[in-house]
Structure 1
Amino acid sequence: RVMGTNHSYFEHYKYGSKQPLTFSKGKEFNGLFETVLGSDVAKQLGYQIGSEIIIAHGISDVGFSRHDKLPFKVVGILAPTGTPVDKTVHVSLEAIEAIHVGWESGARLGPTPDAKVLQERDFQPKQITAMLVGLKSRIQ
């Protein structure tokens, strides 16, 4: 699964007994088309730092849309957590906006803009479809 997020996620996300996310290799994404992989994604698909991946809609090989003209470079691989994080491809919220330029109607409307052109734009996330909330104390 692909998740658009920001740097606060890597800083504040905790699992288990308040364990922080750590990197087994690499670092957080910084560029528009950079990604951080969960440990299972990297292991099962054989990705390493520097690999290029294609983001796609859907979970099967049939009938889904691929963003194949906008590859992402793997810059980080998270250490195993035993949580769904291990099965996640993390990209920036700005990258989610960038790969959907021309898809505003829900389907591709013409050619995909070049990655270099997109990198020159200042993307601001327009919507958040989910969020993680942490509590300072357990609810009684």
Structure 2
Amino acid sequence: RAMADLIDPITSVPQSMVGQFWALVAILMFLVVDGHHFLVHFMIQNFQVVPLAQGTLRPATGQLLISGSTKMFTMALQLAAPALMLTFMMDVGIAVLARAMPRMQIFFVALPLKLLVGIFSLIVSLQLFQAIFANMFNDFQEYLVNLLGSMR
């Protein structure tokens, strides 16, 4: 294991510092958009609309679950795409530089350069994450209400 890994206290599994950072940011965003209030309200509404042992799974419910998983995958790609593209462009640039200057020790240049670009992308994406997360959470609320309505 790398020295940069931290042990997650909840799962006791090693996790990178950046992963731990994004997990904490996601928890804070969940609290900022009042996700905890929505969760409690939704649980109460869930038991009022669909009492215990009386909910039925209909074809519409299955279709909603499938479309929800598709939307979740799309949202994950939207969140990860900027970092993936930046990393890919960085690797292509380093490869071109290594080809143009074969005597240059590219690994000594690439590591700090990747670190700086990674920190820069983390700062930029942190500013964009709040708006994206709020929009995704609103979509998620609509999805849960529709899912609950389909189980009546």
TM-score normalised to the size of structure 2? 0.22
TM-score normalised to the size of structure 1? 0.23
Structure of higher CA gyration radius = 2
Q: Per residue, is there more strand in 1 or in 2? A: 1
Q: Per residue, is there more helix in 1 or in 2? A: 2
Higher relative contact order (CA 8 A, sep 6+): 2
